Amino acid sequence: MAKNKVNNWQIRREMFYPYEEVRPQKQFAAVFDINKCIACQTCTMACKQTWTTGRGQEYMFWNNVESKPYGFYPLAWDVKILEALGAQNWDGDRYSGKTIFEAAPKGQAVEGYLPEDADYAYPNVGEDEPFGEVKKGDYITIPHRVWHFYLPRICNHCTYPACVGACPRKAIYKREEDGIVLVDQKRCRGYRECVRACPYKKVFFNKTTKIAEKCIACYPLIEKGEQTQCIRTCIGRIRLNGWLHLPEKADPSNPMDYLVHIKKVALPLFPQFGLEPNVYYIPPIHVPAPYLRQMFGPGVEQAIKTYKTAQNDETLLGALTVFGSSEFRVSKFRVSKGVVTGYDDKGDELVKVPLKEPVFIRPFHDEKLQVYRHNIT
Ligand code: SF4
Ligand code: SF4
């Protein structure tokens, strides 16, 4: 069914997709640094409070944070689609296996599955459960023998959305101006083909209104040059959103391009599915490589190596330091004399952050005030 050949830079090859390749004028993208997420779920609740407090939305988390490897929302979403897709081989950095469009059964646009209602019922199942056992006399090694990590997830506002490809009503569309993927609620008839198709399970069916709903990338904020609710409220300052260009048009002063294309420290989630997702992850440094390779593709070991150089690489440290520094979109950054400056779309200065926070150690005995002080931070 997928007849058109389109170029997918994340898998370094052309692939089949139901529609022709159309790139938006700008593409909404985000980078999440997994190493800093503490699973406080502030992002989840900020999103829930803003967008999904209505009837029929009780079970919906457009943003969720799950513990890997045993946490899922909905239950076993990744295990099920990985199993259905079968072998996923890479030839260097080129994916030689099938994408979910190429693996589609006859007469369907996408290889997918429809979760059961109960699969959404326990969003915290597997929370904080580590992989492996702590044996007597065990000590910490890198990578850790016992590990888990937190995976925050929103809709990826994919370049080749499976939800768009599968909708028989053409009710889902990708905005030309910013690449945000939206459901036209007037056109939707609730067939749930999008829910079946999205491998990340980020479209939801509202049983009260009988139509599909999904993350809208907080477009009213994006249109005003601001960051999304989940990003601006993030306690761990692990997130940043902005515009991402194609690799050949990468702008080194744009933090998205710099982290994704130039330093290659931020990687897409399951690139082998073939959707060219636009949320990128800095992989966790303490997790065994085979698990991470399946999740983020073949660049994962190099990404971790590069990430670890950040303390000696002022520009990389600068790009990571602007995370969470402003509620506005940081479209450009520049590092000079130990300070990173963030700029908006127009080039106006938004924020200045020192790369190293100054430390002041106060004397234990303050002679002037005649007091004793403990230095606690
Ligand atoms: S993550 Fe799923 S819902 Fe979001 S654009 Fe991609 S296919 Fe559609
Ligand atoms: S708010 Fe930030 S740190 Fe907290 S769970 Fe969400 S992504 Fe992780």
Q: Is residue 302 part of a domain?
A: no
Residue having the nearest C-alpha atom to atom 4 of ligand 1: 155
Region 126-131 average pLDDT = 93
**Percentage with pLDDT > 70 across the chain:** 99
Residue having the nearest C-alpha atom to atom 6 of ligand 2: 43
For the chain, how big is the Rg over CA atoms in Å? 22
- State residue 359's pLDDT score: 84
Number of domains in the chain: 1
**Ligand sitting nearest the alpha carbon of 183:** 1
Q: How close is the Cα of 140 to the center of ligand 1, in Å?
A: 38
**Percentage with pLDDT > 90 across the chain:** 90
More confident residue, 304 or 143: 304
Q: In what order do the strands lie in the sheet with 349-354?
A: 332-336, 339-343, 349-354
Q: Is residue 369 part of a domain?
A: no
Q: Is residue 46 part of a domain?
A: yes
* Residue 146 pLDDT > 80: yes
Q: CB–CB of 192/169 below 8 Å?
A: no
- State residue 214's pLDDT score: 98
Domain that holds residue 149: 4-282
Query: For residue 6, what are its two tokens?
Result: 């389109």
- Cβ–Cβ contacts within 10 Å for residue 176, how many? 12
Residue having the nearest C-alpha atom to atom 2 of ligand 1: 198
Query: For residue 126, what are its two tokens?
Result: 């597997």
Residue having the nearest C-alpha atom to atom 8 of ligand 2: 37
Q: Is residue 292 part of a domain?
A: no
275 lines ligand 1 (CB under 6 A): yes
Chain mean position to CA 73: 15
Q: What is the pLDDT of residues 31-64, one digit of tens each?
A: 999 999 999 999 999 999 999 999 999 999 999 9
**Ligand sitting nearest the alpha carbon of 32:** 2
The CATH code of the domain that includes 248 is 3.30.70.20
| 122: CB partners within 8 A, 6+ apart | 75
* Residue 2 pLDDT > 60: no
Residue having the nearest C-alpha atom to atom 4 of ligand 2: 40
Q: CB–CB of 45/61 below 8 Å?
A: no
Q: How far apart are CA 65 and CA 119, in angstroms?
A: 16
Q: CB–CB of 195/176 below 8 Å?
A: no
* Residue 3 pLDDT > 80: no
Q: How far apart are CA 324 and CA 32, in angstroms?
A: 11
Long-range Cβ contact pairs of 81-86 (< 8 A, separation 24 or more): 81/111, 81/112, 81/113, 81/199, 81/273, 82/270, 82/294, 84/111, 84/112, 84/113, 85/111, 85/272, 85/273
Q: How close is the Cα of 319 to the center of ligand 1, in Å?
A: 27
Q: How far apart are CA 90 and CA 95, in angstroms?
A: 4
Q: How far apart are CA 262 and CA 311, in angstroms?
A: 17
Most ligand 2 atoms within 8 A of CB, residue of 33, 35, 36, 38 to mutate: 38
DSSP three-state, residue 31: strand
* Residue 291 pLDDT > 70: yes
Q: Give the DSSP H or E segment for 296.
A: helix 289-296
- Closest-CA residue to 288 (of 69, 17, 96, 73): 69
41 lines ligand 2 (CB under 6 A): yes
- Cβ–Cβ contacts within 10 Å for residue 131, how many? 16
- State residue 366's pLDDT score: 87
DSSP three-state, residue 264: coil
* Residue 68 pLDDT > 90: yes
163 lines ligand 2 (CB under 6 A): no
- Closest-CA residue to 80 (of 237, 252, 264, 270): 270
Q: How close is the Cα of 71 to the center of ligand 1, in Å?
A: 20
Q: Is residue 164 part of a domain?
A: yes
Q: How far apart are CA 308 and CA 238, in angstroms?
A: 16
